[in-house]
Amino acid sequence: MADRVRTSRARAKTGICRLAARALPGIARAFAACATFAAVSAALVATPGASAQVLMDELPEQIQGVEVDEKLGLSVATRLTFTDSAGRSLPLAEIFNGDKPVVIAPVYFGCPTICPLVLERLTNSFRDLDYTIGEDFSVIVFSIDPSEGPTESNAAKMRYASSYTAGAARDESAVQEGWHFLTGDETSIAEFAGSLGWGFKALPNGEFSHPSAVLVTSPEGKLTRYIYGFDFPAKQMKLSLLDASEGRIAESLGDRILHYCYRFDPLAGAYTMEAMAVMRVAGVLTIIGLVVLIGGLFAWEKARNRSGTPETETSSRASTNTGTESSNGSPAALSA
């Protein structure tokens, strides 16, 4: 028995040693990474004067000026003209005509990483909406690269528009009319991007440094919302469109309540439920419910009384007849 216990302990120790041996390289790498990070941080802090100040206060030249300067409430440059994916000149005033809110995505079609991801996520968000491009809102995807033209914009439009309409009951002609993939000259691009507050910079290798943000405007072209990053939840997009249209594209009572109860929280960077609005809606719904309930009870009582009247009259008549027969029978009984 003792031998078996010693054997089991020996095996356990061996297993633990093997696990430790396997884990040590990973642990060593982790400690090495931490040590390297600490050493670099210490070196940066210890670097005297000017070089440390440069590292701390100055951005790399490639991304200087590449930022978003929000211009909420201001109008975009609608007087400009771009070229659409079919090679036709398209004045922006024809899109910002007061009819539908507009989503704007500044990109460039030759972008190797960020822009395709933005367009893919944006398309997925549009697919999840119960609003339709061309019917309820319009979309502008414009290139910041002046060397691109209809060839590149048409290829992008075919890719993303077909993905949007695939397997869905959407009017493809409306989508084609309402989703614009545009290119333009350097001056028009710079002026339009400047009116959006969307900064970018051309790099020596032919690519562009730019932020990741899409914008939403009112039907007249006033900027109402900036949406940052690579994730565009359908609910947030819907609320942005409702906000931009001031609720005009709401298709149901639920959409109107949604628009009324949610407000954009700049600190959270998203729409959140407003407590007071919810309480007001709940109060109105409660009053409506009570009115309907009381009205229903009155109607039911009135109907019940009406249905009970003939029975009462019949009972009265039966009682009268019985009394008459009894009265008529009394003399006969006495004479007998």
pLDDT digits (tens, 9 = 90+) for 39-88: 333 333 334 443 334 444 566 665 666 789 999 999 999 999 999 999 99
Question: Up-side HSE of residue 315: CA atoms within 13 Å toward CB?
Answer: 5
Exposure of 54 in the CB half-sphere (CA atoms within 13 A) = 7
On whether the CB atoms of residues 264 and 243 are closer than 8 A, the answer is yes
Helical H runs in the chain? Answer: 2-46, 49-57, 114-128, 150-165, 172-178, 186-196, 234-244, 253-261, 275-335
Predicted confidence at residue 310, as pLDDT, reads: 52
237/34 Cα distance (integer angstroms)? 41
Contact 195, 80 (CB under 8 A): no
Please tell me the distance from the alpha carbon of residue 270 to that of residue 226, in angstroms, as a whole number. 10
pLDDT band at 250 (very low <50, low <70, confident <90, very high): very low
Contacts of 322 (CB under 8 A, 6+ apart): none
Distance CA(113)–CA(116), nearest Å, equals 6
Q: CATH number of 81-251: 3.40.30.10, 3.40.1390.10, 3.40.50.10440, 3.90.25.10?
A: 3.40.30.10
The pairing of strands 262-265 and 201-202 is unpaired
Give the pLDDT confidence of 219-235 residue by residue, as tens digits: 999 999 999 988 898 98
Closest CA to 253 of 227, 274, 284: 284
Reported as a pLDDT band with limits 50, 70 and 90, residue 297 is confident
- pLDDT score for 268: 58
Question: Predicted confidence band at 283 (pLDDT cuts at 50, 70, 90)?
Answer: low
pLDDT digits (tens, 9 = 90+) for 94-129: 999 999 999 999 999 999 989 999 999 999 999 999
In terms of C-beta distances under 8 Å and separation of at least 24 residues, what long-range contacts does 308-312 make, across chains too?
none
Query: Between residues 60 and 1, which one has the greater pLDDT?
Result: 60
User: Which residue in this structure is represented by tokens 């490639």?
Assistant: 62
Question: Tokens in use for 223?
Answer: 């900027």
Residue type, 305: N
Residue 124 has a pLDDT of 95
What's the whole-number mean pLDDT along residues 272-286? 53
The CA distance from 282 to 148, in Å, is 53
Distance CA 195, CA 36 (A): 45
Across 161-189, average pLDDT? 93
